[in-house]
Chain A
C-alpha cells in the first residue's frame, strides 16, 4: 500500500513538472499532502497509539488544508493568472526530470542492497527533492518557486518514512512548523514585493540587490 501511494506521489511530481497552470500546481501539492498524511497513518493500523496520530493529523491540517488555502488566497489577492512560463522547452524539462528520476530509482535500488530502506518511498522522496529544485531553477515565477520548495519538503517527509529507524515525532512536527512559517513569510514578502515590482519573477529580484 505504501508503495502504491509512493508511485502516485511520483506521478503527481511529473504533473507538477508538466502543468502550466498555477492553480493546478496547488492542487498537486494538496494531493501530495493528503498522500503523505495517509502514508503516515498506515502504521497505525497495526498498532494504534494516541500520541502518533498527532503527526498525520498535523500533516493533513497544514499541508492538506492550511498551506493550499493560503497559497490560493495569495493567488487571488495578487491576481496571478497568467500561465507558468518555462525558460526551456517543456519537452527538454520533462526529459530532464524523468532522466534524473530514473537515475534516482536505479541508485536507490543499488543502495537498498547494503542499507535497510524501502526502495520506492525512498526513491520517490529523493525524486521529489530533485524535481523541486529543478522547478525552482527553470521557472520564472516566484510563487512557483515556493511550490518547488514545498515539493522538496514533501520529499523530505517521504524520505523520513522510508528509512528504517523512526525520527522522533517532535522533530517532524518541528519541520512542519518550519515549512509553514517559511510559506507564511514568502507570502508576506510577495505581498510587499507586489507593491514595488509588477511581475513576480525571480529575474527582477536582481534589481533589489544593493
Chain B
C-alpha cells in the first residue's frame, strides 16, 4: 500500500509528464488531448489520496516515501492537506474545461501549446506551495506559481490592455515576494532553521511579533487581494484566459489565505489590535468589493471584484479568530477559523464555476460587456441554470454552500458577543449587519448580471451559442459540489473541524455542536416547497392559460433589443449612494418632445485606489527617476566609464577605510 507521500509524488510526476505531450507531439489537437488526459489522471490520483486523508483522517499514513527526498521538506498536516484537497478539487474541472477552451483557440488557428504548459505548470507549482515545508523552496514554488500564471495571462499579448494588466500583476507579485523574503529571513535569524514547522518567535517579544504580523498581512494580504491592495485583481483577471483567471481567482489568491494561516501558526497568539485590524480591513474589503462589482460592466472584472468581496468575508472569519486568540478564547477561534476555511473551499468552487461560465460566454459572444448580452437562456437553458447555481451560492442564499460558511461566520459574531462582554456585543452587531449588507449587495449584483445577460433578447449582433460536453461536465461538477456542500455539510464540517484543531491545539466541538442535520432537513423541505410551487404554477398555467412575453417587455408583446432594461440603469440607484468612494459618475441625456430624437445613459466607475494612488504615484515615480540622469551623452560606453569611476572611488574609499 502506498503512503500518502508516495501518492502525492506519483500524482506530481504524472502531472509533470503531461507537459511533455505538447513538447513532443506536433499536432495541436492530439497534443492537447493527450496532455489533458494525463493531467486529469494525475490530478485525480492526487485528489483521491488527499480526499481520503482529509475526510477520513484515521485511515492514512503519511509515511517517509521512497523518492529519497528529505522527508522534513514536506509537510502533510491537516491544513496543508485541506488546501491541497481544495486545489485539486478545483483543478480537475478547470483542467477538463481547459480542453474545450483550448479547442476554441485551436479552431482560431492559434498555437496553444505555451498556454497549456503554463497552465499545467501553475497547477503543479500551486500543489507544491501548499505542501512545502522549507522556506526557500516555498518561495521558489511561490514564484513559479505566480510567474506561470503571469505567462499564461499574457497569452493574448498583442492587446494593449493585456500588457497593462499583466504588468500590474507582475509588479505586485514581486513586491509580495520581496516582503516574504524579509519575513522568512527574520524568522530564520530567530530560529536558525529554514523549516516552516520550526519557525517560532520568542514569547514576550511583542515588537517583533507585531512587525512579523504586519509583514505577513502586507505580503499575503496583497496576494489575497485585501483592500487597499486589491487593485491588481480587477486589472489582471479580465485579461487572462478563462482557465487561468478561474484558477487565479479560485485558488491562487487563496494561497494568501494559506500563508496567513501559516503565519498565525508561527506567531500565535495574535495581538488584539491585529485582530481588529484584520476585521476592519476585511469588512471594508467585503463591502466595497461587492459595491465596486455592482458598478462594473465587464463580466470578468465584476467577478474579480466579487473575489475581493469573498476574500473580505474569509478575512472577517480570520479576524474573529485572531481576536479570539488574543483573549485565549477557544470557541471564537474555532468558529472564526472554521468559517474562513470552509469559505475558502466554497469560494474556490463557485468562483471557478462562474469564471469558467464567463469564459464560455466570452468565447461564444466575443465580448465581456454585460450590456451587449441578453437572451442566452433561450439558447442554452441548462448552462444558464448552472451559472445561476453558482450565482445563488456566491450570494449566500440558503440552499447552497455559500450560506453554510457565512452561517458559521455569523455564529462566530454571536459567540464573540456572548463570550467577551464589554463593548463586544455592539461591535459584533455592527459586524453582523455589515456582513448581511454584503450579502444584500451581492444579491443585487447577481440579479443584475443574471437578468441582463440571460433574459430578454440579445443586444448587439445575434450569434449562435454553443456549449460543449466538456464545459457541461466541468461546470456541472462544480455546481454539484455547491449543492452537496449546501445540503449535506456534515462531512465538510468534520473535515474543517479537523483542520482547525491543528491550528487551535486545545480543540473544542463548537463547529460540531451546531445541529447541521436541521440544515439538511430545512433545506430539503425548502427545496421541496419550491419544486411543488413550480409544478403548481405549471399546472395552473395549463389550466387557465397564460400570456407569454419576454423579460423586460413590461407587458408589451414585441421587444426590440434597444428597448430593454440595462445593467447600468439597474445598478444606478445603489451606486448613487456611494458616489465618492466608488468614483462613480454618469452621463445621461433625455430627449424632449413627443418623439424624442435620442436619449442615452451611461455610467462608469473608477477604482479609488487604482486611480488616486497607484496610477498617479507610478507616474510621479517615473518622472522622478527620469529626472535623475547624467547630462549629455547617451552612449553606452560613457555609462560603463561612469561605472569604472565608481569602482575606483569605492576601492579607494574602502582602502583608506581599511
Contact = CB atoms under 8 A, between A and B. Distances in A.
Contacts, number: 30
A202 B644 contact: no
Contacts of A203: 635
Nearest to A115: B658
Interface in B130-179: none
Interface in A82-116: 107, 110-111, 114
A40 B225 CA distance: 51
A149 B412 CA distance: 64
Interface stretch (A7-15, A65-73, A129-137): A129-137
Contact of B641 (A129, A137, A206, A209): A137
B637 A202 contact: yes
B636 A202 contact: yes
Contacts of A129: 647
Contacts of A107: 651, 655
Given A107-B651, A206-B635, A209-B634, A136 B658 contact: no
B658 A202 contact: no
A137 B655 CA distance: 25
A136 B655 contact: no
Contact of A133 (B643, B651, B658): B643
Q: Which of B637, B641, B647, B658 has most chain A Cβ within 10 Å?
A: B637
A-side interface mostly: helix
Nearest to A205: B636
B577 interface: no
A134 B635 contact: no
Contacts of A134: 644
Contacts of A136: 637, 640
Q: Which of A111, A134, A136 has most chain B Cβ within 10 Å?
A: A136
A108 B637 CA distance: 27
Interface string A115-147: 000000000000001100110111000000000
A202 B635 CA distance: 7
B629 to A, nearest CB: 12
A133 B651 CA distance: 15
A114 B634 CA distance: 41
A134 B637 CA distance: 9
Interface in B2-17: none
Q: How large is the interface on B (under 10, 10 to 19, 20 to 34, 35 or more residues)?
A: 10 to 19
B-side interface mostly: helix
Given A202-B637, A206-B635, A209-B634, A111 B658 contact: yes
Nearest to A126: B651
A131 to B, nearest CB: 11
A203 B633 CA distance: 10
A110 B656 CA distance: 11
Contact of A137 (B634, B637, B651, B658): B637
Interface residues of A, number: 16
B81 to A, nearest CB: 33
A130 B644 contact: yes
Interface string B624-650: 000000000011110011011001000
Nearest to A100: B648
Nearest to B644: A133
Interface in B422-448: none
Contacts of B640: 133, 136-137
Contacts of A114: 658
Interface in B593-648: 634-637, 640-641, 643-644, 647
A2 B641 CA distance: 31
Nearest to A110: B655
A114 B657 CA distance: 13
Contacts of B655: 107, 110-111
A138 B651 CA distance: 22
Q: Which of B636, B640, B644, B647 has most chain A Cβ within 10 Å?
A: B640
A138 B634 CA distance: 15
Contacts of B635: 202-203, 205-206
Contacts of A209: 634
B651 to A, nearest CB: 7
Nearest to A129: B647
Contacts of A130: 644, 647
A150 to B, nearest CB: 15
Nearest to B636: A202
A144 to B, nearest CB: 11
Interface string A24-67: 00000000000000000000000000000000000000000000
A200 B328 CA distance: 71
B644 A206 contact: no
Nearest to B643: A133
A114 B635 CA distance: 40
B243 to A, nearest CB: 31
Contacts of B637: 136-138, 202
Contacts of B651: 107
A24 to B, nearest CB: 22
A104 B51 CA distance: 66
A203 B644 CA distance: 19
Contacts of A138: 637
Contacts of B641: 137
A207 to B, nearest CB: 10
A136 B651 CA distance: 20
Interface in A147-180: none
Contact of A206 (B634, B643, B647, B658): B634
A130 B650 CA distance: 14
6 contacts: A130-B647, A136-B637, A137-B637, A137-B640, A202-B636, A203-B635
Interface of B: 634-637, 640-641, 643-644, 647, 651, 655, 658
Given A133-B644, A205-B636, 17 more contacts: A107-B651, A114-B658, A130-B644, A133-B640, A133-B643, A133-B647, A136-B637, A137-B637, A137-B640, A137-B641, A202-B635, A202-B636, A203-B635, A205-B635, A206-B634, A206-B635, A209-B634
Q: Lowest 4 CB-CB distances: which A-B pairs, in order? A: A133-B644, A137-B641, A136-B640, A137-B637
